[in-house]
């Protein structure tokens, strides 16, 4: 029966109301999980060591394809990681996949203190809890499978576990719109891992970690001459189906994984500037995926769990729906400073592998203004790695607490990563801020001094009184355009904001290593007091992630072991 105009209008009205209420759920979660000077976001209040999650997920009973652990990919100078196509594309095989995972999500070292031993990885993670799991949907692979298949990556052993086999029809239905030689990578979060320690705020940390993993994968793809683009056309439910995460019978007692995103990996010879477009899956394909042969069962990480209802609510509220409107992004290839080459000849693989978080900073070392500008320039978006992985116009600006940069007065600064937003930001901030272009900064570089002051005390206080925020060259808060993008692109965009923050964080981690320094992501900060520094009101802008960069004090009590193979004490 044909619908009348008023019936259609009524439906639209209802769906607008429904979306508004889901957006409110997201805003409420964000509000509820803020740290305040007088009250932290809710946790258990103690760590229940009896339920500490096992650090690795496996699919027991699945076929395992061992990836080579000691391969050396083609040499690449660190600076060239940020170029569009520095290396020619390689075929997809177990060797090139070994490189992809080895330089993104693998173990980077084992550490030991007393009788405790733990792994560190190429990608960082809040509390080293590593909620992010990775999957790949690959063509037939010699040594792994004669048919297209879905694999799960296990960092502990550098192994791909075959989780499902797909028919050629299913494979073709994914790849028909993609350039020859493409494949898919999927990421998920085991939210429980973070919730075990961080309670209600854990959902945020899982999303940061996804962002770090995205940047890590994007950079690692460069070694094989591949591009890496996030997909905006698949719903969370369809991604879960493809990755087998909704197979509740398989998971049984094992902790569920939340589907996060899908990415297309493509040889970099493709001429498409905006990245390949993966079509949404059709119903027949999804049906075939459901009915295909699945292998293995996930291990259970903890004997029992604590449920945090607000996390369940925000997880549901932020799922990408089917047939979501595409997100238009405007090209921003402009702001990059001329001065981004450090010409130091550093080895990209070495920088990626040596990345670590600092535990303490020396409180005296300085960096030059030129180096500082170069680091910031690397966080500016452009049509090159890692920014070409993202499909939206950047939403995050950097609120900087500058302590020890030679040639720059200490103070509060802002780096406007999308210059079209300068006026909006300025009008949202306290009118007392000076918005001066500092002397010695390249022309049009979007850095402004806001307050001329020693801000070490403020920076420490904002980052939950952590000394590392005051003892480095600088620390910062990642200030996101918040309410409007979530209202415009839908509640799922809440996750994207944290992913963007994680990508910025990964760039800063590598830039710190390249400068002979060290950095640390800071998830613990007092949200609203940070906004007060700028006089921001309401939720037009929100600080989502903090970071610090400086000269580390090493803890020599820790023993260090290589990631794979023979253990040797360094």
Cα diameter, the chain:
76
CB of 555 to ligand FMN, least distance (A): 11
259, 316 in Cβ contact below 8 A?
no
103, 87 in Cβ contact below 8 A?
no
**For residues 109 and 475, what is the distance between their CA atoms, to the nearest angstrom?**
26
Nearer to ligand FMN, 127 or 276 (CB): 127
Give the list of residues 6+ apart from residue 61 with CB closer than 8 angstroms, or none: 295, 296, 297
Nearer to ligand FMN, 227 or 357 (CB): 357
CB of 190 to ligand FMN, least distance (A): 15
**For residues 226 and 91, what is the distance between their CA atoms, to the nearest angstrom?**
10
CB of 471 to ligand FMN, least distance (A): 12
Compute the Cα dihedral for 554, 407, 532, 390 and give only its sign: negative
CB of 467 to ligand FMN, least distance (A): 10
Nearer to ligand FMN, 382 or 502 (CB): 502
499, 489 in Cβ contact below 8 A?
no
Compute the Cα dihedral for 327, 328, 332, 333 and give only its sign: positive
For residue 480, the cross-strand partners are: 396, 542
Nearer to ligand FMN, 126 or 145 (CB): 126
Nearer to ligand FMN, 485 or 523 (CB): 523
CB of 125 to ligand FMN, least distance (A): 5
Nearer to ligand FMN, 228 or 498 (CB): 498
CB of 99 to ligand FMN, least distance (A): 20
Nearer to ligand FMN, 124 or 381 (CB): 124
The residue among 42, 292, 63 whose CA lies nearest residue 167 is 292
The phi and psi torsions of 7 (rounded to 5 degrees) equal: -65, -45
CB of 458 to ligand FMN, least distance (A): 17
Torsion of CA 466, 472, 473, 476, to 10 degrees: -20
The residue among 173, 349, 183 whose CA lies nearest residue 267 is 183
Q: Are strands 405-406 and 367-368 parallel, antiparallel or unpaired?
A: parallel
Nearer to ligand FMN, 108 or 268 (CB): 108
CB of 215 to ligand FMN, least distance (A): 11
Q: Which long-range contacts (CB under 8 A, 24 or more apart) does 271-277 make?
A: 272/179, 273/383, 274/329, 274/391, 275/227, 275/229, 275/388, 275/391, 276/177, 276/178, 276/179, 276/182, 276/229, 277/177, 277/233
Footprint of ligand FMN on this chain (CB under 6 A)? Answer: 120-121, 124-128, 205, 208-209, 212, 356-357, 466, 520-524
Nearer to ligand FMN, 127 or 410 (CB): 127
CB of 519 to ligand FMN, least distance (A): 9
Cis omega (within 30 of 0) for bond into 386: yes
Q: Where are the beta strands (DSSP E) in 218-372?
A: 226-230, 258-267, 297-298, 367-368
For residue 151, the cross-strand partners are: 136, 162
Nearer to ligand FMN, 372 or 498 (CB): 498
Give the Å distances, CA to CA, from 352 to 101, 133, 506.
Answer: 12, 19, 10
The phi and psi torsions of 225 (rounded to 5 degrees) equal: 70, 35
Nearer to ligand FMN, 148 or 521 (CB): 521
């Amino acid at each position: 029966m044909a619908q009348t105009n008023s019936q259609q209008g009524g439906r639209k009205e209802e769906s607008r109301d429904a979306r508004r209420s889901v957006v409110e759920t997201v805003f409420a979660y964000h509000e509820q999980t803020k740290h305040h000077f007088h009250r932290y976001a809710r946790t258990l209040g103690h760590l229940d060591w009896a339920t500490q999650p096992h650090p690795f997920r496996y699919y027991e009973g699945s076929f395992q394809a061992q990836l080579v652990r000691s391969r050396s990919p083609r040499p690449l100078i660190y600076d060239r990681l940020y170029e569009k196509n520095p290396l020619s594309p390689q075929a997809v095989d177990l060797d090139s996949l070994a490189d992809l995972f080895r330089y993104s999500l693998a173990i980077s070292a084992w550490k030991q203190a007393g009788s405790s031993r733990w792994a560190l990885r190429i990608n960082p993670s809040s509390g080293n809890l590593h909620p992010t799991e990775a999957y790949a949907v690959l063509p037939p692979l010699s040594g792994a499978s004669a048919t297209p298949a879905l694999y799960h990556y296990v960092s502990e052993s550098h192994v791909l576990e075959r989780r499902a086999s797909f028919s050629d029809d299913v494979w073709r239905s994914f790849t028909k719109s993609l350039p020859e030689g493409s494949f898919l990578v999927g990421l998920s979060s085991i939210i429980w891992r973070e919730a075990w320690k961080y309670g209600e705020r854990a959902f945020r940390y899982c999303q940061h970690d996804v962002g770090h993993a995205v940047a890590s994968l994007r950079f690692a793809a460069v070694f094989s001459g591949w591009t890496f683009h996030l997909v905006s056309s698949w719903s969370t439910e369809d991604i879960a189906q493809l990755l087998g995460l909704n197979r509740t019978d398989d998971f049984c007692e094992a902790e569920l994984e939340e589907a996060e995103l899908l990415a297309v990996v493509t040889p970099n010879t493709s001429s498409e500037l905006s990245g390949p477009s993966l079509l949404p899956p059709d119903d027949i394909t999804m049906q075939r995926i459901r009915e295909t042969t699945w292998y293995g069962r996930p291990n259970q990480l903890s004997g029992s769990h604590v449920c945090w209802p607000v996390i369940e609510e925000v997880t549901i509220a932020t799922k990408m729906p089917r047939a979501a409107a595409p997100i238009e992004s405007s090209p921003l290839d402009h702001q990059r400073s001329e001065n981004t080459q450090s010409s130091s000849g550093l080895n990209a693989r070495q920088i990626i592998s040596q990345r670590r978080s600092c535990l303490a900073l020396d409180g005296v070392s300085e960096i030059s203004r030129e180096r500082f500008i170069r680091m910031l320039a690397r966080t500016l978006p452009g049509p090159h790695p890692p920014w070409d992985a993202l499909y939206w116009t950047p939403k995050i600006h950097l609120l900087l607490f500058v302590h020890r940069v030679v040639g720059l007065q200490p103070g509060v600064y802002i780096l406007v990563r999308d210059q079209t937003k300068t006026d909006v930001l300025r009008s949202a901030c306290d009118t007392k801020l000076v918005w001066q272009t500092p002397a010695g900064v390249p022309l049009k570089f979007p850095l402004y001094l806001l307050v001329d002051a020693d801000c070490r005390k403020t920076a420490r206080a904002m980052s939950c009184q952590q000394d590392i925020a005051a003892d480095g060259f600088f620390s910062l808060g990642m200030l996101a355009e918040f309410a409007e993008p979530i209202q415009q692109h839908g509640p799922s965009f809440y996750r994207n904001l944290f992913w963007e923050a994680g990508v910025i964080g990964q760039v800063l981690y590598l830039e710190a290593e390249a400068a002979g320094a060290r950095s640390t992501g800071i998830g613990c900060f007092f949200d609203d007091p940070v906004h007060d520094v700028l006089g921001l009101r309401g939720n037009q802008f929100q600080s989502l992630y903090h970071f610090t960069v400086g000269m580390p004090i090493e803890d020599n009590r820790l023993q260090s072991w290589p990631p794979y193979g023979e253990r040797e004490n360094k």
